[in-house]
């Protein structure tokens, strides 16, 4: 059915991408609400729910798009969706948030989360810049590379849970779990999953079709349209929090999302199917690492340990230069 609709022209593909993003975002919200309500029903604490159900739920848009991309054989889209999302998270979302109101940081973010986010970008670059040492042909993220990332992800989860138990005062409690009947929660979860799957299918197939029609690569579409769409929840949340002068959780949410994207979503994708390198991937991987490096340096060079408004402007300017370079070298 999607193929029949796409036959009408590029504008249909553009509309289907928008519809897919709406289904994807709402599906993730419903899945998180339903799963959180069921977890609460079984007596699981808000802390554990926030570190597991909610954290994984915010990465569901990227995860579903990647799984469908891998299944469809669109491996370029699978990598650029993650790298593009991380680049947009750091340069655009943190940049805009800081312009509205300075973003404060916690010691854990400066000492653990941001360095781990830097390692994520460096790891992707190293994986594609050299021949795989595990006997697999060509450059790219191999299955073994994906497994190594998952191991690091397990360490990140362990460290996060340990830190949360030792420092509960640092864990934000910005929203409470909605209480609902079990049947309603289950229905909400099922509808959410359906929305994720349908939205993911629409986005992947429409994005590939749009790339072919416009004569650009899947990588460019993934770095721009798809990456921006899957980052919309983080963008809306962070900017609205900044307007309310309540952006103390913005940095943790963005950096945490970057870590989940690489060490969980990209790792799972590579474990299912090795992801070969595409033209320009080294630039994109370094850009993803550079964003975290710049944020870390900006936080370390002022007494307030804040991302100032000038820092937000710098991030946006650097992203503008990077985007222009990528679009002119497709």
Residues 76-92: pLDDT tens digits?
888 988 999 999 999 99
3-state class (DSSP) for residue 212? helix
| Rounded CA separation 325/330 (Å) | 9
pTM of full prediction above 0.85: no
The residue ranges of every structural domain in the chain are 2-328
Task: Write out the H or E segment, with its range, that includes residue 79.
Answer: helix 75-87
**Straight-line distance from the first to the last Cα atom of the chain, in angstroms, rounded to the nearest whole number:** 31
**Token pair 């609400």: residue:** 33
CATH superfamily, with its number, for domain 2-328: NCX, central ion-binding region (1.20.1420.30)
Two structure tokens written together for 322: 């990077």
The DSSP code sequence of 240-263 is HHHHTT-GGGHHHHHHHHHHHIII
Q: How far apart are CA 293 and CA 119, in angstroms?
A: 10
pLDDT for 168: 65
pLDDT, position 135: 46
Which residues of the chain carry a pLDDT beneath 50?
134-135, 174
Q: Hey, CA dihedral for 47, 154, 305, 165, is it positive or negative?
A: positive
Which tokens in the block code for residue 75? Answer: 């491996």
Backbone phi, psi, residue 237, to 5°? -65, -45
State the pLDDT at residue 280. Answer: 84
């Amino acid at each position: 059915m999607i193929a029949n609709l796409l036959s009408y022209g590029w504008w249909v593909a553009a509309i289907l991408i928008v519809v897919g993003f709406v289904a994807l975002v709402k599906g993730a919200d419903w899945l998180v609400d339903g799963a959180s309500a069921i977890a609460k029903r079984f007596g699981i604490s808000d802390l554990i729910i926030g570190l597991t159900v909610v954290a994984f739920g915010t990465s569901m848009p990227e995860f579903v798009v990647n799984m469908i991309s891998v299944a469809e054989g669109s491996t370029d889209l699978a990598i650029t969706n993650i790298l593009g999302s991380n680049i947009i998270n750091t340069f655009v979302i943190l940049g805009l948030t800081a312009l509205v109101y300075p973003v404060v940081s916690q010691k854990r973010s400066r000492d653990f989360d941001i360095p781990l986010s830097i390692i994520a970008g460096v790891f992707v670059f190293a994986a594609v810049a050299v021949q795989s040492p595990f006997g697999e042909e060509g450059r790219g993220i191999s299955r073994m590379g994906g497994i190594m990332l998952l191991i690091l992800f397990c360490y990140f989860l362990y460290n996060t849970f340990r830190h949360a138990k030792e420092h509960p005062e640092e864990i934000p409690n910005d929203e409470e779990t909605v209480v609902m009947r079990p049947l309603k929660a289950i229905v909400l979860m099922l509808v959410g999953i359906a929305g994720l799957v349908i939205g993911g299918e629409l986005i992947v197939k429409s994005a590939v079709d749009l790339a072919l029609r416009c004569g650009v690569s899947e990588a460019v579409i993934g770095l721009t349209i798809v990456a921006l769409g899957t980052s919309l929840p983080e963008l809306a949340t962070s900017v609205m929090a900044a307007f309310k002068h309540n952006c103390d959780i913005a940095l943790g949410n963005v950096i945490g999302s970057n870590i989940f994207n690489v060490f969980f979503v990209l790792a799972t994708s590579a474990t299912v199917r090795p992801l070969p390198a595409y033209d320009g991937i080294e630039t994109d991987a370094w850009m993803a690492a550079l964003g975290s490096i710049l944020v870390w340096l900006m936080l370390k060079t002022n007494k307030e340990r804040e991302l100032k408004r000038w820092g937000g402007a710098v991030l946006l300017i650097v992203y503008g230069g990077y985007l222009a370079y990528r679009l002119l070298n497709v």
